[in-house]
Amino acid sequence: MNTFINSVPRSWRERKYKYRLIGGICKKCNATFYPYRGSCPYCGSDDIEEVNLPKKGRLISYTIIYSPPSEFRLKQPYIVGLIELEDGTRIIAQITDVDVNEVKDGIEVEAVFRRYREQGADGIIEYGIKFRPISD
């Protein structure tokens, strides 16, 4: 039995944040962050406002996952990277549409909507934001 179970109501509740690049901006310290949460991870303030983050950025660093958790086993190897968006916000996301032998630090990337995983043969299919290299 699949131990990673997600409910349909929870998927619909989180859809706004999973399907769009919405982060938070702290009105106290002016920090931006992703994913959105109700309090600032930098100063702890709960005076947070939603903000649409830029869809483009630069890959700062990355790792290639060769031994993933079971729910990602069919996707191996895959790339997870630290991305600095155009406004300076840093996020961690999967990198897609690039061969693991061709990825490199410093490439320009853009947000795209992609499939994350399936929760078993009859489970929910999850989608969200990944990043791909911007082609010249």
The amino acid at residue 122 is D
Per-residue pLDDT reduced to its tens digit, 10-40: 555 556 666 688 999 999 999 999 989 999 9
Count of Cβ atoms closer than 10 Å to residue 41 Cβ? 10
Helix (H, G, I), strand (E, B), or coil: what is residue 38? coil
Strands of the 32-33 sheet, one edge to the other: 32-33, 22-26, 48-52
Q: What is the secondary structure of 56-120 as a DSSP string?
A: EEEEEEEEEESS--GGGGGG-SEEEEEEEETTS-EEEEEE-SS-TTT--TT-EEEEEEEEEEESS
For the chain, the structural domain boundaries read 8-133
Per-residue pLDDT reduced to its tens digit, 66-97: 988 877 777 789 999 999 999 999 999 999 99
The pTM (predicted TM-score) of the whole model is 0.79
pLDDT-derived band at 128 (thresholds 50, 70, 90) equals: confident
